[in-house]
Structure 1
Amino acid sequence: MTPLSLLRAFIPWTFILLLSLSIVPTVEADELILKNGDRLTGSVVSAKEGKLTFNTPYAGDVAIAMDAIASINSDTDVTLRFNGKEVLSGKLATDDDQITLQASEVRGATPIDWTQVRSINVPDTYWDGSVFLGGTHQAGNTERTSVSFGAEAMRRSLRDRFSLSFLYNYAEEDGELTTRDTYGSLKYDYFFTQKFYGLLSLEMLKDKFKDLNLRTIVGPGVGYQLWEDDIKALALEAGIAYFSEDRVDGEDDQWITARLGANARWQITPWLKFTDRLLLYPQLESFGDYTLRNEGALLTSLGGSWSLRLSNVWERDSDPAEDIKKDDFKTSLSLQYSF
């Protein structure tokens, strides 16, 4: 083969190699410079309540106070929601110490005031929920089987919140039924301000071992959201409710009661979370009589969306039906999937 023919064969392969190298995608990265001079590269994940979450390849997600940011440049589009109703999407850039958003070629660069930004890459409406299942089986001298199944869901927007829960318990020992109860609740909250809201709630309980064919509690109220962030949440509620008990054997009854409630959540560590929901119904016509329900849970993350759930439900009736104890405690260990 002559040198000329070798050159002719080499040129096409060289062209193909250069072309392939030219179309290799470049790795996009956002850049963040803090007022203290620290420089971070990675990607903007989200921001809310004055904290920006920035993902870095070497430290994972990092939470940064937005007022500590001196400069930010993003290679990908982000969505900014302002304190009003305005929503803009585009790339963040910094020019002459002014952070701007390139929303469109027509609009051009829009100066950004961090104090007016409500959130970044956080939808105004989102769903959160979980399902969990636990059970035991014992064979030998004693035949014992128990099952506990539950589900919780919440839809949250800027103006309202809708939540529901369901819990079913079943147990038998030596072929005899020892536990079977079903509990469900619905609640709608409408926020008049960022913290203060009105509510309408509904609860139902069926438990033959409490002589309850169906207990129904429904009524309005008001609430105040003291805290609500990724680490902690606490809400206090008060209202009135219509309380009705359809009994299996005893006499049916209904009355008007007050409603006091508290909902708490605490992310103790990245892998351990505590939740608690307390409801107290003091009777208005009979001072000293009340019904109480407290449901607490401790969740240990197993990775991904899975966790172990250790829960305890305490129910108390200060004036129960004949031959019915005042207190009921149910403790269960379940496998939970969150979505």
Structure 2
Amino acid sequence: MHALNSRFYTACSTLVCALLLSGTAAAVDRIELRDGSIVMGTFQDADGGKVKIETAYAGTLEIDQSAIVAMTVESDLVLQMEDGSVLEIPGLEVADEQLTLEQQANKNYALAELTRINPEPWELGDGYNFGGLASFGYDSQSGNTETDELTYRFETRWESLVDRYRAEAYGEINEANGIKNAENWTARGRYDRIQTGDWYWGGGVSAEQDLFADLDLRTSIGPYIGRKFFTDPVFALEAETGLAYITEDFISDEDREYLGSTWDVRMQSNYLG
């Protein structure tokens, strides 16, 4: 009986050791912050001055890159630096806010010079980043007044490091007691050429119709210059101004054409998701 218990405990001890060894062998990434805090988890991404790490206790954390003094990442990475360099490295070590890169013995980088980790192909100049939205709404109400309202909107954007294509269209059709009281649509297309910094220039065309404003068709075409004031997803703001040649065809009034000025302001935020 004593020999059997010894063999049993020996076997259990061996199993425990194997489990402990397998647990310690798993790669765990580590981030040390200026206030002395240590965050352990699995590195996810770094872009826009933010580092994301998946933790077992708090989900995905987003940390300001400026708050990091040391970092260890065990997986293979692609680094994009401020000077345009792209480095493929087997893991990453950051100490005293400096990147430790064995294959770059003649070049030292500060953590602040790191633009992004594992960039998308378009961020390296290969192709475009695509985004957009589409919405459609229909509302019908019955009672003393019968109303039907139809609204729609489409928007798309293709962006690379050097240029951007944008297109949008929206409109509405409303009826009350079988009588139409609104019918209008607008379509616009733009091409932007990105310049150094936050400035860009481009050209745009647009067309619109509003039958209940006597407008059969208004078209415009012309150049503009724009600037991105804020680019953070939490709050983005850009504005444009330029010139346009405009033609207006009216249903009843006399048609006209003229040279006009244009302005456009776009704000968006993902603060609420």
TM-score between the two structures when normalised by the length of structure 1: 0.65
Q: What residue number does 1:100 align with?
A: 100
User: What's 1:127 paired with?
Assistant: 130
Structure 2 CA distance for partners of 1:188 and 1:98, relative to 1, 3 Å: same
1:1-339 mapped onto 2 (5 Å cutoff): 27-90=26-89, 91-94=91-94, 98-101=98-101, 107=103, 111-123=108-120, 124=123, 125-267=128-270, 270-271=271-272, 301=273
RMSD: 3.3
CA contact (8 A) 2:70 2:96 kept: no
- Matched position secondary structure for 2:75: coil
Distance in 2 between residues matched to 1:168 and 1:24, nearest whole Å = 59
Shift of the 164–96 alpha-carbon distance from structure 1 to 2, 3 Å rule, reads closer
Task: Give the superposition deviation at 1:97.
Answer: 7.6
Q: Residue by residue, what CA displacement relative to the aligned partner does 1:147-199 show, whole Å, maximum 9, x if unpaired?
A: 11112222233322222211121122222222221211112221221211112
Per-residue CA deviation, residues 57-95 of structure 1 (Å, 9 max, x unaligned), is 322333323233222121323332122332223321247
Structure 1 residue 23: Cα displacement: 9.2
The 8 Å contact of residues 234 and 264 in structure 1, kept in 2 or not, is answered as: yes
Contact 1:45 1:121 in 2 (8 A): no
Partners of 1:262 and 1:93 lie apart in 2 by 42
Residues of 2 paired with 1:184 and 1:152: CA distance? 10
Q: What is the letter of the counterpart of residue 32 of structure 1?
A: I
Structure 1's 256 and 96: CA in aligned 2 closer, same or farther, altered over 3 A? closer
- The equivalent of 1:293 in structure 2 is none
More helix by share: 2
**Count of matched residue pairs:** 254
Identity rate of aligned residues, in percent?
27
Counterpart of 1:220 in 2: which secondary structure?
strand
Relative to structure 1, the CA distance from residue 45 to residue 87 in structure 2 (aligned partners, 3 Å threshold; closer, same or farther) is same
SS at match of 2:74: coil
Contact 1:136–1:146 at 8 Å: present in 2 too? yes
The 8 Å contact of residues 94 and 111 in structure 2, kept in 1 or not, is answered as no
Contact 2:175 2:182 in 1 (8 A): yes
SS of equivalent to 2:217: strand
- What are structure 2's unaligned runs of at least 5 residues? 1-14
CA contact (8 A) 1:243 1:257 kept: yes
Residue 136 of structure 1 and its aligned partner are, at CA, apart by 0.9
Distance 1:156 1:29, change over 3 A: farther
Rounded Cα–Cα distance in structure 1 between residues aligned with 2:199 and 2:97: 38
Unaligned residue ranges in structure 1 (runs of 5+): 1-16, 272-300, 302-339
What is the CA–CA distance in structure 2 between the aligned matches of 1:89 and 1:100, rounded to whole Å? 13
Evaluate the alpha carbon distance shift between residue 180 and residue 25 of structure 1 in structure 2; reply closer, same or farther with a 3 A threshold. Answer: farther
In structure 2, relative to structure 1, the CA distance for the partners of 1:24 and 1:118 (3 Å cut) is closer
CA contact (8 A) 1:32 1:72 kept: yes
Could you say what secondary structure the match of 2:112 adopts?
helix
The residue type equivalent to 2:32 in the other structure is I
Task: Provide the residue aligned with 1:10 in structure 2.
Answer: none
Which position in structure 1 is the counterpart of 2:4?
Answer: none
Maintained 8 Å contact 1:168/1:180: yes
Distance 1:225-1:98 versus aligned 2 partners, 3 A rule: closer
Q: CA deviation at 1:26?
A: 6.5
Task: Give the partner amino acid of 2:117.
Answer: I
Q: Provide Cα deviations, 1:265-324, integer angstroms capped at 9, x if missing partner.
A: 244xx42xxxxxxxxxxxxxxxxxxxxxxxxxxxxx5xxxxxxxxxxxxxxxxxxxxxxx
CA contact (8 A) 2:97 2:110 kept: no
Q: 1:151 to 1:27 in 2, by over 3 A?
A: farther
